[in-house]
């Protein structure tokens, strides 16, 4: 008998139901082709380089890794260096001391073995101390689960919360596809709530309540609420008053608050400050028995941009001991998260202090990167808001701007003729004419009839004037070509 051939139709229908993000993929593939053509056929395009504004991957854009972090990682990975006389002249004294302390946490002082499935106990202690210092409220190391970035714990919580298609999660629109994709894979019902662009992408509580009530009226058992703060793709930072409203809403409606706080150190404006949802809840007087809260953090997304290291954690509070056992059970399905990521997460939450040799250089590196982000964001937003039919909220945090473009009817018709979304059509035309790569807003979701694109603020600062001049020239020509 002939072997049976696996077909797409025979795959898990939940995988097939995942959004393909065809527009984003088409733009990425075209950018790669153009990059190759520029290199092999100079002069084949009206520009000589691609400006990648679609990547939230700082080190791939030329950002240097933090010196202190890499010193400690190097010494932990190759402990033989610590005993060499030359090491004292090559590495800072506090990096050497930190590496010794970390290595003492591992059997045989090697980072090549498995750790506890929840993460190395001593590193969780350090992270818990960092959270306590950040929030001003206690953190228990037993509430910390060290993970390979923020995506695995999100999937973990979806496994725990979702039982069937009658269960739903409130999720912001626009938002990162991690949440919507995870819900689709678990068979959950997505209950969207739209962020309010007119309020700098804040959460309008009346809309949140309406979406919850509508879902419940349809028999959907809404289990949790996702909040991304600072926002991806919007680059907003929630006001404290809005956070308090969200906490009270979750407490009253008995929802698990899933707080994505991976960009917490990336704040671009003086009038907004990051405060964790745990800090907000505790400051309101709510303790473990009042609200269930899971917060996510990662080494990928701060100013350090260590995306490839895959380090992260989730802090789980407000779950009773029996439920906590089930969280542990799911965590134990993986032997452990990678050790380098665990170490780096502990360094992020406990960086050099003022008495350490590395403190001055560490602060200079950190402040330099964040200042560059702020200047690039401010320049982009100012230029975009000068363009016809474009509005862009002030960049407050993370590493994105998310402008709205009111596309002419002729442009929308031209996109429909090509069977593509209007914002994808705009982004492809932008790429072909300028070499600038952005992500269409339809990838993240948006209010129907509105069009956006996400643009990172990561290009090197000296490239920003080139970005602005190319973008402005393109947009003016585009609007003239398709003017109604």
Per-residue pLDDT tens for 349-373? Answer: 999 999 999 999 999 999 999 999 9
| Whether the Cβ atoms of residue 70 and residue 347 lie closer than 8 Å to each other | no
Q: Identify the pLDDT of residue 350.
A: 97
CA angle 123, 125, 131 (to 5 degrees): 105
Of the chain, the percentage scoring pLDDT greater than 70 comes to 98
- Give residue-wise pLDDT tens across range 231-241: 999 999 999 99
- CA 402, 408, 413, 418 torsion-angle sign: negative
Task: Inform me whether the pLDDT recorded for 2 exceeds 60.
Answer: no
Residue (of 478, 357, 386) closest to 425 by Cα position = 478
| Averaged confidence pLDDT in the chain | 94
Alpha helices by DSSP H, 284-357: 321-331, 339-349
Q: Provide mean pLDDT across the span 443-464.
A: 95
pLDDT band per the 50, 70, 90 thresholds, residue 24: confident
Neighbours of 281 (CB within 10 A): 28
Task: Inform me whether the pLDDT recorded for 375 exceeds 90.
Answer: yes
Structure tokens at 125: 């202690």
Of the chain, the percentage scoring pLDDT greater than 90 comes to 87
Q: Identify the pLDDT of residue 484.
A: 85
Q: Provide mean pLDDT across the span 87-113.
A: 95
- Give residue-wise pLDDT tens across range 269-301: 888 999 999 999 999 999 999 999 999 999 998
19-28, 115-124, 372-381, 461-470: least confident range: 19-28
Q: Identify the pLDDT of residue 21.
A: 58
Rounded Cα gap, residues 227 and 256, in angstroms: 11
Task: Inform me whether the pLDDT recorded for 19 exceeds 80.
Answer: no
Q: Provide mean pLDDT across the span 150-177.
A: 95
- Give residue-wise pLDDT tens across range 105-144: 999 899 999 999 999 999 999 999 999 999 999 999 999 9
Contacting residues for 63 by C-beta, under 8 A, at least 6 apart: 305, 369, 458
| Whether the Cβ atoms of residue 455 and residue 53 lie closer than 8 Å to each other | yes
Task: Inform me whether the pLDDT recorded for 335 exceeds 90.
Answer: no
216 exposure class (CB count in 10 Å sphere: 0-12, 13-18, 19+):
middle
- What 3-state DSSP class applies to 471? helix
Q: Identify the pLDDT of residue 1.
A: 55
- Give residue-wise pLDDT tens across range 386-401: 999 999 999 999 999 9
CA 271 to chain centre: 22
- Give residue-wise pLDDT tens across range 173-194: 999 889 989 998 998 999 999 9
pLDDT band per the 50, 70, 90 thresholds, residue 3: low
Rounded Cα gap, residues 103 and 105, in angstroms: 5
- What 3-state DSSP class applies to 195? coil
Model pTM score: 0.95
Q: Identify the pLDDT of residue 70.
A: 97
Residue (of 128, 182, 124) closest to 150 by Cα position = 182
Using only C-alpha atoms, the chain has a radius of gyration, in whole angstroms, of 24
Q: Provide mean pLDDT across the span 407-436.
A: 97
């Amino acid at each position: 008998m002939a072997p049976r051939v696996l077909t797409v139709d025979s795959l898990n229908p939940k995988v097939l139901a995942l959004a393909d993000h065809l527009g984003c993929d088409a733009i990425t593939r075209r950018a790669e082709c153009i990059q190759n053509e520029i290199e092999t056929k100079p002069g084949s395009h009206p520009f000589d380089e691609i400006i990648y504004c679609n990547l939230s991957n700082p080190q791939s854009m030329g950002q240097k890794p933090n010196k202190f972090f890499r010193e400690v990682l190097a010494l932990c990975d190759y402990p033989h260096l610590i005993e060499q006389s030359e090491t004292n002249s090559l590495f800072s004294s506090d990096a050497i001391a930190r590496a010794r302390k970390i290595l003492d946490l591992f059997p045989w002082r090697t980072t090549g073995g498995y750790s506890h499935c929840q993460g190395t106990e001593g590193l969780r202690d350090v992270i818990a101390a960092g959270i306590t210092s950040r929030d001003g409220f206690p953190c228990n190391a037993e509430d910390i689960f060290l993970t390979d970035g923020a995506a695995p714990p999100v999937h973990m919580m979806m496994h725990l919360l979702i039982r069937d298609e009658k269960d739903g999660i409130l999720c912001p629109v626009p938002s990162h596809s991690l949440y919507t994709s995870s819900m689709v894979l678990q068979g959950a019902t997505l209950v969207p709530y739209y962020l309010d662009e007119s309020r700098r992408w804040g959460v309008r509580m009346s809309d949140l309540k309406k979406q919850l009530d509508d879902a419940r009226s349809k028999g959907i058992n809404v289990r949790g609420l996702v909040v991304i703060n600072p926002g991806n793709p919007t680059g907003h930072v929630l006001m404290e008053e809005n956070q308090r409203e969200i906490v009270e809403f979750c407490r009253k409606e008995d929802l698990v608050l899933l707080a994505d706080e991976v960009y917490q150190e990336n704040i671009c404006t003086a009038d907004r400050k990051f405060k964790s949802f745990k800090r907000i809840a505790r400051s309101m007087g709510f303790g473990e028995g009042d609200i269930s809260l899971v917060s996510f953090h990662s080494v990928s997304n701060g100013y350090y941009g260590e995306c490839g290291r895959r380090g992260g954690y989730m802090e789980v509070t407000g779950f009773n001991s029996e439920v906590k056992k089930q969280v542990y059970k799911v965590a134990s399905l993986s032997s452990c998260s990678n050790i380098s990521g665990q170490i780096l997460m502990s360094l992020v939450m406990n960086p050099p202090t003022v008495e350490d040799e590395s403190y001055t250089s560490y602060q200079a590196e950190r402040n330099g990167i964040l200042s560059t982000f702020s200047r690039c964001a401010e320049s982009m937003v100012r230029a975009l808001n000068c363009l016809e039919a474009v509005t862009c909220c002030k960049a407050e945090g993370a590493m994105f701007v998310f402008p709205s473009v009111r596309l002419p009817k002729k442009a929308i018709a031209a996109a429909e003729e090509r069977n593509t979304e209007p914002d994808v059509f705009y982004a492809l035309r932008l790429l072909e004419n300028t070499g600038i790569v952005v992500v269409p807003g339809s990838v993240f979701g948006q209010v129907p009839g509105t069009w956006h694109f996400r643009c990172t603020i990561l290009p090197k600062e000296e490239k920003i004037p080139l970005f602005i001049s190319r973008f402005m020239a393109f947009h003016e020509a585009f609007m003239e070509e398709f003017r109604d």
